[in-house]
Amino acid sequence: MIMKNSSYKRLNLPYKGDRNYVHGTDLFIALVQMVDATSSMSMTIYHLSKVPVVAQLVDRTELGRLRKSGELNAVFAWNDAENCQHLVAVTNDPEDYECKRIDYDEAMVVDGFDIIGRQIQQTIPTPWSFIERTVSLNKQLLRDWTGEADWLFTRLDIAQLPKQAISLVLEVESDRDARLLKSIVVVDNVNVGSIYFSRLHA
């Protein structure tokens, strides 16, 4: 659904590897670039986008209508320099077309990781982006810590987007049997926020 009187941007995001949905990392990167956000960012994914998507600036009333309609795929919030919050809603593209596909080997993204208990660290960065490394490392951590394979990236809260990330450390804060698991994200010894994953078959 495209809200009346609302302009929207076609994101034209690819499928990664053999996935049949838009990857949350690509969605986050596209939304950050769309609004030039740098701080106080939060992205929540409500369900996987298996078709092309669009993003549109909305107010809280419009966001509530989209959520009620069941067509809200994700929402991105960020604060501007005056600490005023803005919202972007992600919905299905009204013009259906086939997404392109790009190669993606997640094992290469997490190369060189170490896990100790609830914590995973990668001290030598791989060529991928901060968000790609963060999501992949957290998935690796949860699989190791819980013994379960099926996890979905659900939410990311970032106080400040790192300009560069050499060392990445993630540590699970939730109980092992929780349906939604939270991990803190530490970049070069600075806590920058939290990432949440949900069980695929909770």
Please give the span between the terminal C-alpha atoms of the chain, in angstroms, as a whole number.
28
Query: Homologous superfamily of 106-199 in CATH?
Result: Hotdog Thioesterase (3.10.129.10)
3-state SS string for 62-107: HHHHHHHHCCCCEEEEEECCCCCEEEEEEEECCCCCCCCEECCCHH
The structural domains of the chain, with segments of one domain joined by +, span 8-94, 106-199
- Per-residue pLDDT at 197 exceeds 60: yes
**Stretch 148-172: mean pLDDT, rounded?**
93
pLDDT tens, 29-84?
999 999 988 889 999 999 988 888 999 999 999 999 999 999 899 999 999 888 89
Cα–Cα distance measured from residue 177 to residue 118, given in angstroms and rounded to the nearest whole number: 13
Cα–Cα distance measured from residue 29 to residue 166, given in angstroms and rounded to the nearest whole number: 18
- Per-residue pLDDT at 3 exceeds 50: no
pLDDT tens, 113-134?
999 999 999 999 999 999 999 9
Helix (H) or strand (E) run with residue 85 in it: strand 85-92
Global model pTM greater than 0.75: yes
Cα–Cα distance measured from residue 24 to residue 34, given in angstroms and rounded to the nearest whole number: 15
- Per-residue pLDDT at 188 exceeds 50: yes
**Stretch 82-89: mean pLDDT, rounded?**
93
Query: 44 burial class (0-12, 13-18, 19+ CB within 10 angstroms)?
Result: middle
Residue count of the chain: 202
